Chain A
């Protein structure tokens, strides 16, 4: 019986090895070797320079700002959906997920035609004889792109926690003298933290590593760490340095997640990365 059950886990273990363990080992191996073989730390040493430090700093900063925007915009949205009655709720979730069914690139290109110099917004402004704005190819456009693309990952986990929340807890708090603001501060928000943590995790990780959004909406003007990795692999063909950057980025994400986990409810067993 026992052995039979173990056998059932084998396909998963094989899957795990092929798709997670082997690629990670390969990336680690590449990052620790010269192009023509031989073990070295040279690739990591190369990264320690003001140029690359700036790229890393900018990536983390933009990802952080985008995550904050996603949270500030996404939380009220999640509350609105969770507060609606059941039929409207499903429709709202559907509307929210609908854009995700479209290709990521396409959605981002759509923003280019909206924000561009001769784009929709500037055309409308011109119609009212207002000066055209530089909306594209700056930090703002990159952040907008990140928030737009990643906000569903913030809204959905928060929504699912809020929707499952026991409504009598809110009634109990009101019964004990809490007004709407206190109820939110002391009951709803603390109890929704697992959803918030998951949301932050799911927005921050792709935001740090994205290279499509800064490339299209940032115009490739300033490089983010994702672009750097992409460049090493597709243009420079320095897979070793690219791998080293990937590992460094991974370490930074792990550190960020570990910090987040500290704020997670210790009673909650699942939901976090740690």
Chain B
């Protein structure tokens, strides 16, 4: 408890008697971690963020900040700042005044304001832009100013609502690294909302995968990627082949009309399950020696690897491999026991 900066307890949010946007969520955020709320649009991730920021009030449940209940605390009294999706810079102030906004409210001396704002401009690499107007800046530059404006208040938690959503791919990649660097430099907690799984994997210490108002899985990026708890997560985080299967007994699963040795257990006997195999975990061999045999439908060069679609007895398999085979030819596919992930059906 003591090292958690934010605790969400049984949070439920319902708008106008409709179905719940958030359904009994429990979430704790540790001090100084980079936590990402990841999920498709409408999964409740932004609502969760807004509840932490104080812009939404939970229908049920409590929000704790350093152990104290803050449900009724308005946003301006929370030691939390937000970087908004569309930056929300004040158009009638120049860059310097935008960043100084929070400091001026705290009635800090003009000299101190100047020092702090300049420090922040330097941190985000915008020293020469202090006198510029908001609309003379590009999206990426506005983003940096928005981050500086939030960080200058020295919040204990910084909330970021899809801050890179409007940037082009190259800029986004650069900002991902930079954001992570900034987080490590200032050493505060970042709560980041995105629907981009790659972004989440790149930056986070912890990822909470959300869907339909629930947290599906929470853990380190490696754990979420390697050991997804449900087929939904497996599909959402990276590409996946998901097929129906039957868990015959511990360490033995049947799918694609044959049995495979696997490393999972405790599913019971003859239980219907989902089987998840990552595209890069399928090994290509000759049609005669493979566990499964299929016909190459497409093969696309992706730079580091080829992406192939294989048709096998009506099922489609996606394979990422550094070698390829001609379209129309038959190949064999091998899957190692530890690369087969078993999920409860429908979870």
B255 lies within 8 A of chain A by Cβ: no
> B residues engaging A (CB < 8 A)?
53-55, 74-76, 80-82, 84-86, 88-92, 101-102, 105-106, 133, 135, 149-150, 153
Q: Is the CB of B84 within 8 A of A172?
A: yes
Given contacts A166-B88, A178-B76, 16 further A-B contacts (CB under 8 A): A168-B86, A169-B90, A171-B55, A172-B82, A172-B89, A174-B75, A175-B75, A175-B80, A175-B81, A176-B76, A176-B105, A177-B102, A177-B106, A178-B105, A191-B92, A267-B135
Q: Is the CB of A168 within 8 A of B88?
A: yes
Q: Is the CB of B92 within 8 A of A267?
A: yes
Interface flags for A159-190 (1: CB within 8 Å of B; 0: not) read 00000001011011111111100100011001
User: Which of A175, A179, A182, A267 is B91 in contact with, Cβ under 8 Å?
Assistant: A267
Closest residue to A171 on the B side, CB-wise? B55
B82 / chain A contacts, CB cutoff of 8 Å:
171-172, 175
Q: A223 → chain B, closest Cβ, in Å? A: 43
In the bound complex, what is the Cα–Cα distance between A173 and B150 (angstroms)? Answer: 10
A265 lies within 8 A of chain B by Cβ: yes
* Known contacts A172-B82, A267-B133; A191 and B91 CB within 8 A of each other: yes
Range of interface residues on A (Cβ < 8 Å): 10 to 19
Give the secondary structure class of A's interface.
Answer: helix
Pairs A–B under 8 Å by Cβ, sample size 21: A166-B88, A168-B84, A168-B85, A171-B82, A172-B90, A173-B101, A174-B54, A174-B74, A175-B55, A175-B80, A175-B81, A175-B150, A176-B76, A176-B105, A176-B150, A177-B105, A186-B101, A187-B90, A191-B91, A267-B133, A267-B135
A115-151 residues with Cβ-Cβ distance < 8 A to B are none
In the bound complex, what is the Cα–Cα distance between A225 and B347 (angstroms)? Answer: 81
4 interchain residue pairs of minimum CB distance: A176-B102, A172-B88, A168-B88, A174-B75
A166 / chain B contacts, CB cutoff of 8 Å:
86, 88
Q: Is the CB of A265 within 8 A of B92?
A: yes
B76 / chain A contacts, CB cutoff of 8 Å:
174-179
In the bound complex, what is the Cα–Cα distance between A168 and B135 (angstroms)? Answer: 16
B80 / chain A contacts, CB cutoff of 8 Å:
175
User: Which of B88, B92, B133, B153 is A171 in contact with, Cβ under 8 Å?
Assistant: B88
B135 / chain A contacts, CB cutoff of 8 Å:
267
B88 / chain A contacts, CB cutoff of 8 Å:
166, 168-169, 171-172
**Which of A172, A173, A179, A182 neighbours the largest number of chain B CB atoms within 10 Å of its CB?**
A172
Closest residue to B86 on the A side, CB-wise? A168
In the bound complex, what is the Cα–Cα distance between A226 and B88 (angstroms)? Answer: 47
Q: Is the CB of B91 within 8 A of A176?
A: no
A30-51 residues with Cβ-Cβ distance < 8 A to B are none
In the bound complex, what is the Cα–Cα distance between A173 and B135 (angstroms)? Answer: 18
A186 / chain B contacts, CB cutoff of 8 Å:
101
Q: Is the CB of A171 within 8 A of B81?
A: no
Interface flags for A242-269 (1: CB within 8 Å of B; 0: not) read 0000000000000000000000010100
